[in-house]
Amino acid sequence: MIETERLHIYPASKEEMEDFISSQTNDILKTAYQEMLDGCLMHPEEWNYYAIWMIEKKDGTHIGECCFKGISPNGSTEIGYGISEEYQGRDYATDAVNAVVEWVLQQHKVGSVEAEAEAGNPASIRVLQKCGFLPTGETGEEGPRFARK
């Protein structure tokens, strides 16, 4: 578990992910979360790099999720994140992203973290900037790419 002043952030267990997936009403998210669980099951020794990471306030209130998208052979991983709408605008995403990126960059397999943010989502781009990510000049499926070493 990773702790910040306001948050608990932890990779979900198989059972937690199964429950979380079954509670989803958005088919796109449900599919994405199922892919994360499948990645965990195919790579159990790298669970933390495929799992849904739960973001909770210190009082236990679930406010969002983040994830890594495996590890590339060159030691890079990609992060994704989301905060429930009612908790946005309070720097929770910045706190969570910064904490998990600091953690993952301390792992011996990881040398850099990448992310994509939709061009029309200035709040997400600002989170990445506040967490030390720099634009790569590339565009991915979701928008401009950023990286942090």
DSSP string, 15-75: HHHHHHHHT---HHHHHHHHHHHHHHHH-GGGGGGTSEEEEEETTS-EEEEEEE----TTS
Q: Rounded to an integer, what distance in angstroms lies between the CA atom of residue 16 and that of residue 18?
A: 5
The full set of domains in the chain, from first to last, is 2-148 (3.40.630.30)
Token reading at 21: 């997936």
The rounded distance, in Å, linking the Cα atoms of 60 and 82 is: 17
The answer, yes or no, to whether residue 61 has pLDDT greater than 90, is yes
As a whole number, mean pLDDT of residues 68-84 equals 95
Which pLDDT does position 42 carry in this prediction? 96
| Overall average pLDDT of the 121-147 stretch | 95
Q: What is the pLDDT of residue 108?
A: 85
- The helix (H) or strand (E) run that includes residue 100 is helix 92-105
Give the closest residue to 78 by CA, choosing from 122, 37, 128, 119: 128
| pLDDT reported for residue 103 | 97
CB 133 within 8 A of CB 122: no
40 to 78, 80, 139: CA distances (angstroms): 15, 16, 27
**What was the pLDDT predicted at 33?**
95
